[in-house]
Amino acid sequence: MITRNILLAAIASVVLLTTTGCAVTRGQESVGAYIDDATITAQVKSRFIDSSEIGAASIHVETLNGTVLLSGFAKDSSERSSASRIARKVDGVKTVRNEITIRRWDVHRRDPCLKPSSSSCSCFGCLAC
């Protein structure tokens, strides 16, 4: 029984050490930095969900050493800027990189048109073209 408990404790220790070791390889200086980044990411996502201005399901949040990267799609520029503003207010955020793309909708096809507006746009009826 004692041998079994020692073996289980050893296996659990190895699993915990290798799992938390992955955090340091992502670029964080320590396991604590990894936990801080995960907390920041969770708080930003939570605030997006609570906000009526943000489509939380369309915006992806990643944090590395206090820098928050926002990516995904917004319905307009106000949603994009609101996402940055909300993320900046979270404790521990050093900077916010906003790489959210504004999604333009094709009225006729009901699917997104992500092409830039230009005379050569070929999305057939997109309001942005």
Of 120 and 40, which is predicted with more confidence?
A: 40
Kind and range of the H or E run holding 21: helix 2-25
Determine the average pLDDT of the residues in 89-98.
96
Whole-number pLDDT of residue 88: 97
Of 54 and 26, which is predicted with more confidence?
A: 54
Percent of the chain with pLDDT strictly greater than 70: 58
Residue 113: both structure tokens together? 């048109």
Whole-number pLDDT of residue 115: 52
Residue 37: both structure tokens together? 């980044």
Of 107 and 4, which is predicted with more confidence?
A: 4
Domains and CATH numbers, the chain: 28-106 (3.30.1340)
- 3-state class of 2 per DSSP? helix
Q: In this structure, which amino acid lies at residue 18? A: T
- Contact yes or no for 106/99 (Cβ under 8 A): no
pLDDT band at 23 (very low <50, low <70, confident <90, very high): very low
